[in-house]
């Protein structure tokens, strides 16, 4: 067996191991597609927003995570916002597509602070190609026979505190826990989705009349998994160019570029894994974001 093939198998085994812990995709541009994880952001920008995000993780590794997502949000009247989010995610032998409708309600606390309350409801399809387990020497439990082609409903909730200078948000985008694949000690078996909780915040710091520093962070909690922390800092030049960097604790570092023209935002992020077994074969993670604000 070639050395590179051995590395690929090791990496995919690492991916399979994470199936029993963190199960939802990560995003470098999390501040700009918050609707995916928090329904309270639907319509909160007071503009009609359409966003597309494409993420290809560990680009040179076959079977590595790939995620495509679409978000839509618009205000409806004075206090109500509506949104739609679609996530198509493929990892290892799993593929799932989730479609959700978002509803938000705005509460004006005072002149500086607005609180948005959000509800999310939708369904997801889930498939696991269990025949692919044998390729990587993972045994399967007989209970996996009927895991393909499942459609399951789900609900979620979130809150979003918005200030001119900062924001704080908390959400649980999926409260129900349908069946899915789990892997433990080389045995794949039928398990359940884990509840994910997200706490996010950011602060805009003016450095001059044309330069704004935008630090932000996202803390992710998943049952039976270590806490995951993303820290990002962007320099906004005259609301046209954004340059910055991100760090996901003990996982990766990233370089971020954004360009704004009129109603369109275009962003690109390049992420490098910190784990040595991945770096040896990885050509990096690429993430592209397109946002249209009307």
The pLDDT tens digits for 64-113 are 788 999 999 999 988 999 999 999 998 777 788 999 999 999 999 998 99
> What pLDDT sits at residue 250?
86
> What pLDDT sits at residue 93?
73
pLDDT over 60 (residue 202): yes
> What pLDDT sits at residue 81?
96
Higher pLDDT, 129 or 232: 232
| Mean pLDDT taken over the chain | 83
Distance CA 203, CA 43 (A): 20
Tens of pLDDT along 4-15?
A: 444 454 455 555
> What pLDDT sits at residue 67?
92
> What pLDDT sits at residue 227?
87
Token code pair at residue 294: 């009307």
> What pLDDT sits at residue 27?
92
* Reported pTM: 0.85
What is the DSSP track for the chain? --HHHHHHHHHHHHHHHHTTS--SPP-TTGGG-GGGT-GGGTTTTSS-EEEEEEEESSTTSTT--EEEEEEEEEEETTTEEEEEEEEEEEETTEEEEEEEEEEEEEEE-SSSEEEEEEEEEEEEEEEE-GGGGGGGT-EE-GGGGG-TTEEEEEEEEEEEEEESSEEEEEEES--S--EEEEEETTEEEEEEPPPEEEEEEEE-EE-SSSEEEEEEEEEEEETTS--EEEEEEEEEETTTEEEEEEEETTTEEEEEEEEEETTEEEEEEEEEE--HHHHTT---EEEEEEEEE-
Average pLDDT in the 232-249 region?
95
Q: Is 5 exposed, middle or buried (0-12, 13-18, 19+ CB in 10 A)?
A: exposed
């Amino acid at each position: 067996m070639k050395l590179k093939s051995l590395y690929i198998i090791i990496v995919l085994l690492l991916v399979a191991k994470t199936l029993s812990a963190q199960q939802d995709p990560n995003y470098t541009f999390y501040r700009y597609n918050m609707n995916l994880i928090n329904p309270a952001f639907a319509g909160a920008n007071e503009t009609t927003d359409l966003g597309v995000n494409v993420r290809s993780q560990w680009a040179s590794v076959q079977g590595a995570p790939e995620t495509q997502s679409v978000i839509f949000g618009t205000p409806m009247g004075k206090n109500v916002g509506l949104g739609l989010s679609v996530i198509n995610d493929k990892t290892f032998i799993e593929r799932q597509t989730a479609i959700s409708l978002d509803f938000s309600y705005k509460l004006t606390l005072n002149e500086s602070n607005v609180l948005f309350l959000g509800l999310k409801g939708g369904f997801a399809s889930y498939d696991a190609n269990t025949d692919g387990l044998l390729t990587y020497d993972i045994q399967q439990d007989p209970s996996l026979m009927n895991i393909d082609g499942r459609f399951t409903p789900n609900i979620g909730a979130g809150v979003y505190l918005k200030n001119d200078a900062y924001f704080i948000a908390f959400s649980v985008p999926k409260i129900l826990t349908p069946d899915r694949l789990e892997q433990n000690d080389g045995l794949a078996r039928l398990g359940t989705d884990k509840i994910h909780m997200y706490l996010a915040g950011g602060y805009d710091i003016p450095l001059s009349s044309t330069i704004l520093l935008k630090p932000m962070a996202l803390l992710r909690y998943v049952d039976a998994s270590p806490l995951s922390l993303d820290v990002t800092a962007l320099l906004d030049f005259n609301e046209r160019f954004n340059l910055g960097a991100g760090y996901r604790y003990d996982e990766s570092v990233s370089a971020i570029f954004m360009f704004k023209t009129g109603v369109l935002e275009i962003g690109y992020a390049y992420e490098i894994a910190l784990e040595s077994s991945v770096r040896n074969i990885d050509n990096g993670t690429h993430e592209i974001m397109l946002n249209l604000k009307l």
